[in-house]
Structures are given as C-alpha cells and as structure tokens.
Amino acid sequence: MAKILFINPVVREEDVPRHIPYGIALLAAIAMKEGHLVQVYDANAHRLPLDTIIEVCQADDWDAICIGGLTTTYNYIKKACKLIKESAPNAQLIAGGGFLTSMPHEIFEWIPEIDVGCIGESFVTFPEVLKKIDNKDVNYSDVLGVIHRDLTGKSFLTNIRPNIKDLDTLPWPAWHLFPLDIYFANSSNLFSEESFTSKRRMDINGSFGCGLTCKYCWHLGTTGDMLVEENDNGENDVVFTYGRNIRYHSADYIVSMVKHLHNEYDIDFAAFIDENLMTMDVASKGTWLKELCKKWIEAGLQPTCRQQGIPHDENCKGVHWNGTSHAGLHRPETLKLMYEAGCTHLVYGLESFDPTVLRNLGKGSNARKNKQSIATCLASGIKPIPNIIIGFPEESFESVRNTIEALVELGITAKPHFATAYPGSEWYYAYKDSIMEQYNQDLEAYIMDLGDASKITATISHEFSPMQLLGLQQIVYLKDLRLLDLSEQHWAPVQEKLTPVIQPKMSFNLKTVKEAGPLAS
C-alpha cells in the first residue's frame, strides 16, 4: 500500500486558521479506506516556517505527496512544490482542488514539479491515481479526470471523470488527522451571539453545487458544470458551462455525522460550507431542509435555548448551526423550522440593490426580493448576513446610489467587497484579456495577487478606475449620498467622453449553455 503525505497549504496568512480543510480530510479518509498509509501535515494550522516542509518530506519514504486548495493558496503551493520535489524527489507529487481545475495547463506550466493533478471531483480519480502509484505505474493517460505530463514535461488532460451519483457513499472526513485544538481555539466569529460564544465549531458539507449561475461564482466541476473538449490545437482543455448535476446528502447522513461530531469532539457549532442551502432545498421540492431540521431535533442536537425559548447563554447545550441562503428562494415556514433547530445566521449574497446589476448577475434575484429578504430572515429569529459588492462590470453612479439607498433603508452598514474575477468564474474567462493588460500580460502575477476581494486586484468595471472604486467603497461604507452626488457631478461628464478599457470577450473555456458533465450510473 502506498505511503501518502497530505499537505494542507497556508490560506489567508493575515487571519488565523479557521477551517479544517473538508476536501483534504475527505480524500484522506478515502485513501485510508482503500488501505493506504496516510499522514497529514497541516501547514495552515501550524503556521511554521515554510522550510518545515523539508523535514516533513524527509520523515519517511513517501510514495505520494498530495497538495491542493483554492486559488488563494497558490503562492504557498508554488513555493511548497519546489521544496517537496527537492527533498522527496522519488515521491509522485499530486495536486488537486480549485487552484488546478480552473486552469490546469497554466498551473502545470508554472509549477513544473507537479507530476499529476486531479481535475474537478476527485473522489474516484484520486484513489485510481494512488492505485497506479502503488503498482509503480506512473503512466496516467488511461485515468479519467487527470492532467499529467509526457517526458518533455508537456501537459495532457484526459477525458472527463463523471460525478458520483450518491454522496452518501462517501466516508466521513478524517477530522482526527488535523490539529483540532488549533481550529477550536478559533471557533468564535462575529456573525451571531451563538457563533461568537462558540468554543468548538466544525464545518460540515451537505451538498455539492448550486442551480444558479452568478457570474462571479465558480463550481469547478463539482456541480456537473465542467466538460473537457479539444481546443483549436487539438488539445484537451476544461470548458465550464451552466450544466448541473445537483446532489445532496440525505438528512440521515448529515444528522448522524453531526451527532458523531457532537459525541466525539463535543462540538457546539456546525457551519454548513455548502454553496447555497436554499437552492438544494428547491431541488428537493422544499423537503430537504424541513427533514434535516426535524431529524436534528429528534437526534437531540437542538440547542436548549431554542428548545426552552430562553436567551442563549454559556449553559446552553446542543449544536447551533449556520449556512447560506438566497433572497428569492427562502420560505418563512422553513426559516422558522431552521431557527427552532438551532440555525443562528444565514449568509445572503445580496451583492447589490441595482436592477441592472442584478438582472445581469445570474443570481435570480431582484432589488425588491433583496430588501424583503432581510425582514423575512429577521422575522424568523435568524440573523441575516448580507454580502455587498461594488465594481460590477455595469456599475454606475446610479447603481451605487441604489445600493446606498437600500442600505440606509435597511439599516445595514457594509464595507463592500470589490467585484473580482476568480479563475473558474464566468467573469474570469470573459475578462481574462483585460486582466492580463492590467498585470503586464503576467497572468501568474494576477493569480498570486488574489485574496478575499477586500482589495482591488484587477478591475472589471467598464466605467470606474481603481481610484474611483476605492472612493466609492468608502462612500458606500459611510452611506454618504452627498459625497456620491458630488463625485458624480465631477466625474460623470468626463466619463461620457472616455471609452471603456475593460471589455468582455468570448472564451474557449466558457460555454453559456445548460450542458452538464457526465454523472456516473
């Protein structure tokens, strides 16, 4: 059996480690189930000097060293791969996750140390790659869903791996291989009183994907949104679509997992990291969340404050939880049940209150629904956490005004994020050329610059420059319509005479059609 080392890269260096990596923990569990020998080095949790990787890589004779994460971990992964190859040259270096799936050929060019990469959903691909390594066969050309190299280092993408059909066949993630105390020490967050007082929070994932098509969002094959097709040079490349393979765990699977976490690790809070709980509920014809809440309560996970109708305090027992919602898809009766079962807050990606912006966004919401959603959610007892963005392609003084007016009306103070084109999103492919112009044609420099969208990297606003967007962010934060009027008075006449520097383009990697990738039978 193969000896495997997993490395969890550092993410958001400016913040403390908050999330046990769900994907890595799941793949570690799958590898162990297949009989492999597994070790985990959680660099994100430990925050040790980078070259600790050398010691870790020399701790055994690894057959495979696996690394992966979202695009925002790219900087660490790039440096880590160099050290890994130098200190464990005989191990196969396997990469996976969003950073690779969104741009497999580019990543293979920029990080020559990677031997093989799992593209999109890896639950079946990864154990197949391990089996090959175990058999000392490193010709990956017959494994679906991978990117690999020939002897010259040139990258090749094999055909697409079908998504699995039944998520309940997956084992529970191997949480015990991670330094849980470090994560528990950072359980508390500022979204609700219950989450603020949480001492033992863990993440759970009930579903994969979302039925909507927001232009800034990426799913990277996990929703059935990915195909592999030949490009003009006759080479396979990834193509992202509006296709969907909607899948969610049964309420029984989720509740028994949380019950296990409660009994084993004494968790007091479960954070659903699902992309959008409400779109899953819609896919189940409104039954999924209701069943989940009912079974949560039956399993004895309902917090005592909710059970007894008393304010939450430090004596509260049970498991509170949170998730994501949608302004147009939530229902008051479902929210009420969610509150009773212990839901404390829901993140609503409202983004804007401008009709044009919302119409073009692919979110399936509008300004009226956005406004109502706050009141509907508050009425259930759950705290809404609205997310606001500025710098949309069609952002204008008028759209910013619409957002500020709504924030004033709803009593929301928000320092908006900047519209950012993350790899894998529709915006990224549409604006890739403009982004490269802003980074002197160095795409890798852009990838290395990406953070959590609280700073401007590349703008995709047709009308506003970075200087203006920084000012507008402050004006939205202050909800100062007078300053907005003054700015418009100065700039609007000038902008009428300027041609936009940012322009969308067609891209091979994006097809705006509802063509889903294959689903295993």
Partner 1 sequence: MSDILKGNFTPKKQVTKPDDTIDDDSIESKFKKAALNSIGGSMVYVERTDLTWDGEE
Q: Is 80 exposed, middle or buried (0-12, 13-18, 19+ CB in 10 A)?
A: buried
234 binds partner 1 (CB under 8 A): no
Residue 454's binding partner among partner 1, ligand SF4, none (Cβ under 5 to 8 angstroms by kind) is none
Q: Residue 367 CB, nearest distance to ligand SF4 (Å)?
A: 16
41 binds partner 1 (CB under 8 A): yes
**What one-character-per-residue DSSP string does 268-326 give?**
SEEEE--S-HHHHHHHTTT-HHHHHHHHHHHTT-S-HHHHHT----TT--S-EEEEEE-
Residue 349's binding partner among partner 1, ligand SF4, none (Cβ under 5 to 8 angstroms by kind) is ligand SF4
226 binds ligand SF4 (CB under 6 A): no
Q: Which residues pair with 94 in a beta bridge?
A: 66, 116
Q: Which is nearer to ligand SF4, 244 or 290 (CB)?
A: 244
Q: Which is nearer to partner 1, 154 or 176 (CB)?
A: 176
Q: What are phi and psi of 429, to 5 degrees?
A: -70, -35
Q: Report the C-alpha gap between 262 and 200 in whole angstroms.
A: 9
Other CB atoms closer than 10 Å to residue 149's CB: what's the count? 17
Q: What is the sign, positive or negative, of the torsion defined by CA atoms of 7, 9, 15, 20?
A: negative
What binding mask, one character per residue, do residues 164-203 give for partner 1 by CB under 8 A, x or -? ------------xxxx------------------------
329 binds ligand SF4 (CB under 6 A): no
Q: How many residues bind ligand SF4 (CB under 6 A)?
A: 10
Per-residue H/E/C for 193-209: HHHHCCCCEEEECCEEC
Q: Which is nearer to ligand SF4, 65 or 347 (CB)?
A: 347
User: Given the structure tokens 């890269």, which residue do they identify?
Assistant: 9
3-state secondary structure of 5: strand
Q: Which residues contact 374 (CB under 8 A, 6 or more apart)?
A: 348, 384, 386, 410, 412
Residue 379's binding partner among ligand SF4, partner 1, none (Cβ under 5 to 8 angstroms by kind) is none
Q: Report the C-alpha gap between 457 and 116 in whole angstroms.
A: 30
Q: Residue 222 CB, nearest distance to ligand SF4 (Å)?
A: 11
Residue 309's binding partner among ligand SF4, partner 1, none (Cβ under 5 to 8 angstroms by kind) is none
Q: Which is nearer to ligand SF4, 43 or 377 (CB)?
A: 377
Q: Report the C-alpha gap between 366 and 368 in whole angstroms.
A: 6
Residue 340's binding partner among ligand SF4, partner 1, none (Cβ under 5 to 8 angstroms by kind) is none
What binding mask, one character per residue, do residues 348-367 give for ligand SF4 by CB under 6 A, x or -? -x-------------x----
- List the helix and strand counts (H, then E) for the chain: 21, 17
Q: How far apart are the first and last CA of the chain?
A: 29
In contact, 320 and 268? CB cutoff 8 Å: yes
385 binds ligand SF4 (CB under 6 A): no
Q: Which is nearer to ligand SF4, 142 or 452 (CB)?
A: 452
Q: Residue 61 CB, nearest distance to partner 1 (Å)?
A: 7
Tokens standing for residue 252? 């029984």
Q: Residue 215 CB, nearest distance to ligand SF4 (Å)?
A: 9
User: Given the structure tokens 């790659």, which residue do they identify?
Assistant: 129
Residue 159: name the closest of 242, 221, 211 by CA.
221
Residue 40's binding partner among ligand SF4, partner 1, none (Cβ under 5 to 8 angstroms by kind) is partner 1
Q: Which residues pair with 239 in a beta bridge?
A: 227
Residue 48's binding partner among ligand SF4, partner 1, none (Cβ under 5 to 8 angstroms by kind) is partner 1
280 binds partner 1 (CB under 8 A): no
What binding mask, one character per residue, do residues 178-217 give for ligand SF4 by CB under 6 A, x or -? --------------------------------x-xxx--x
Q: Which of 276, 352, 373, 380 binds ligand SF4 (CB under 6 A)?
A: 276
Q: What is the sign, positive or negative, of the torsion defined by CA atoms of 145, 272, 424, 78?
A: negative
Sheet holding 320-325, edge to edge: 201-204, 269-272, 320-325, 343-351, 383-390, 417-418
Q: Tell how strand 207-208 and strand 247-248 pair up.
A: antiparallel
Q: Residue 211 CB, nearest distance to ligand SF4 (Å)?
A: 7
Q: Which of 12, 46, 82, 259 binds partner 1 (CB under 8 A)?
A: 46
55 binds partner 1 (CB under 8 A): yes
Q: Which residues pair with 93 in a beta bridge?
A: 65
In contact, 114 and 81? CB cutoff 8 Å: yes
Q: How many residues bind partner 1 (CB under 8 A)?
A: 24
Q: Which of 13, 48, 379, 437 binds partner 1 (CB under 8 A)?
A: 48
Residue 183's binding partner among partner 1, ligand SF4, none (Cβ under 5 to 8 angstroms by kind) is none
Instruction: Point out which residues bind partner 1 (CB under 8 A).
Output: 3, 5, 32, 37-42, 46-49, 52, 55-56, 58-61, 176-179
Instruction: Point out which residues bind ligand SF4 (CB under 6 A).
Output: 210, 212-214, 217, 275-276, 326, 349, 363
